[in-house]
Amino acid sequence: MKKILNSLIILIIVIFLTIEVILNSSSVVDSARFSFNMWKDNIFPTLFPFFVISNLLINYGFVELVGELFKPIMSKLFKIKGESSFVFILSMLSGFPSNAKYTLELYNNNIIDDKEATKLLTFTHFPNPLFVIGTVALSFLGNKNYGFIILASIYISNILIGIMYRFYNPTNNTSKIDLKSAYKKMKERYKKNKTFGIILTKTLVDSINMLLLILGAISLFLILNKIIVNVFNLNDYFRAFTSSVLEMTGGLKYTSLLNIPINYKIILTSMILAFGGLSIHTQIYSIICETKIKFFPYFISRFIHVILSGLICFILLNIVNI
């Protein structure tokens, strides 16, 4: 009975959305065009190179070397394998949802298990720094220096979340650096590899598929947000809130247009980026759904992230003069 009821509710929602898409076709097309242009101009150029490079680095044993070098920090601070530092560092550079892709690659290559992967996702939720400084801070808020405050609040709060989760499935391993062991692991992985041509082809196909998934999720939630705004005729504040929950890019834009002090805008921007929006959550879930990696701890940690990033941003704004 419950399944039938759920199916009926979904069917009603889909029919309603279909009708709205037909009645507001011009708005839907504009949203789809906006999402495609954003994907083409910002997301694809920044993520595609990282996706390709990261996969090649993993296949040729670079993760083992980096993991050995960062083992003391990852072990003592987060109680997780040193190899996780690869995801942590690259996620800071490329932004979400790449953290889920890098985590999945380590998991599929048996470098980390599902428990470690679940834990790793909770504190590697970073926005793309170029997007934050160039688009959010400079274009939306009018000063690129705001971007550094926002990034600092998100980075610090992520580290705090990692420390909070350190006893969640802790990995008990030695924190001593052993480069001979790293070299041995790199050698073993190199022997297992297929030819470079096969690896590169698979890497390119996987990267393109992942980027198309991201495009689909962004387009879907932007269209959904547009329909909700049109149907309920939301004011500026509710429009900013709804957009932030569904697809953060629209939320960031509408928040920057609110008639509130700039410091409030900066804090809200940091909180929106910390949450990421349901579009990002959908992308993360889609990447890990066929594995044993759990999504719920990641989802809960985003609410913690929102609170911490907001508080840290508030503190930084009162310390630093911009």
Percentage of the chain modeled with pLDDT above 90: 35
- Residue 187 pLDDT: 65
Residue 72, domain extent:
47-319
- Identify the band that residue 191 occupies on the pLDDT scale cut at 50, 70 and 90: low
pLDDT of residue 164 exceeding 70: yes
Domain presence at residue 39 = no
Q: How many domains does the chain have?
A: 1
- C-alpha to C-alpha distance for 116 and 305, rounded to whole angstroms: 19
Is the separation of the CB atoms in 293 and 247 below 8 Å?
A: no
The answer to the question of residue 27 being in a domain is: no
pLDDT of the residue at 123? 95
pLDDT at 320: 82
pLDDT of residue 276: 92
pLDDT digits (tens, 9 = 90+) for 39-97: 888 788 878 888 888 888 777 777 777 777 888 888 888 989 888 888 998 888 888 88
Mean pLDDT, residues 31-45 = 84
Please tell me the chain's helix, strand, coil percentages from 3-state DSSP, rounded to the nearest 5.
80, 0, 20
The number of helix segments (H) and strand segments (E) in the chain equals: 17, 0
Let me know if residue 3 belongs to a domain: no
Beta carbons of 118 and 297 less than 8 angstroms apart = yes
24 within some domain = no
Task: Give a yes or no: residue 212 inside a domain.
Answer: yes
Contacts with 187 (C-beta within 8 Å, 6 or more apart), sequence order: 61
Cis before 97 (ω within 30) = yes
The more confident residue out of 32 and 3 is 32
Query: What pLDDT is recorded for position 6?
Result: 63
Name the pTM for this structure: 0.87
Supply the mean pLDDT for the chain. Answer: 85
CA distances from 295 to 70, 127, 278, 321 (A): 26, 19, 13, 39
Per-residue pLDDT at 282 exceeds 80: yes
Residue 255 lies in a domain: yes
Whether residue 149 has pLDDT greater than 90: yes
| Average pLDDT, integer, range 133-142 | 89
Nearest-10 crossing angle of helices 236-246, 248-256: 150
At residue 190 the predicted structure's pLDDT band, cuts being 50, 70 and 90, is low
- Check pLDDT > 80 for residue 298: yes
Does any domain span residue 42?
A: no
- pLDDT (tens digit per residue) in 216-247: 888 888 888 888 877 788 888 998 999 999 98
Looking at the predicted structure, is the pLDDT value of residue 173 above 70?
Answer: no
